[in-house]
Amino acid sequence: MADEVVRDRYQWSWWAAEGESVDTYYLNEASRDAVIATARREYGDGATFVIVEATQDGPFETDLFDEDSAQDVIERFADANAHRFGEDGFDGHIDPEGLAAELNRAVARYMADHGGDITVFSFTEQRNKEVIRPDAAPPG
């Protein structure tokens, strides 16, 4: 099986939080205008808040195993099956580099199939951050 690179479809949306310097955003809308309207409704017309366009999508790191970690797996395999190898112990060869590559492919496949089930609480990228002050409110 050839290695495949999973290309993520970034889902950008707009987020808002009250204050000028924020670490956590609470409001989420599909458009800039919608998040500003929601923030004004939630925080009040006189509030200062920050908006940002952000995504929580993006690739999970799946290249987790190297030869050393694969060697640990091989040792666990040998220990778990010691009863099958007799008193001299495991006397076989499992290629750590090949096993590491297979483990990394398995993790990548699993994440491609199930990564959407994992709740992500931080942004993987953000852009268009802006402080909205009360004086920027449209007349009305």
Structural domain spans, the chain:
13-56+121-136, 67-116
The pTM of the whole model exceeds 0.75: no
pLDDT of amino acid 5: 43
Provide the percentage of residues in the chain whose pLDDT is more than 90.
60
Q: How far apart are CA 6 and CA 93, in angstroms?
A: 32
Task: List, for residues 61-96, the tens digit of each pLDDT value.
Answer: 899 999 999 999 999 999 999 888 888 888 889 999
Strand order in the sheet with 27-29: 27-29, 13-18, 49-55, 125-132
CA distance 16 to 34: 10
How far the first Cα of the chain sits from its last, in Å, is 62
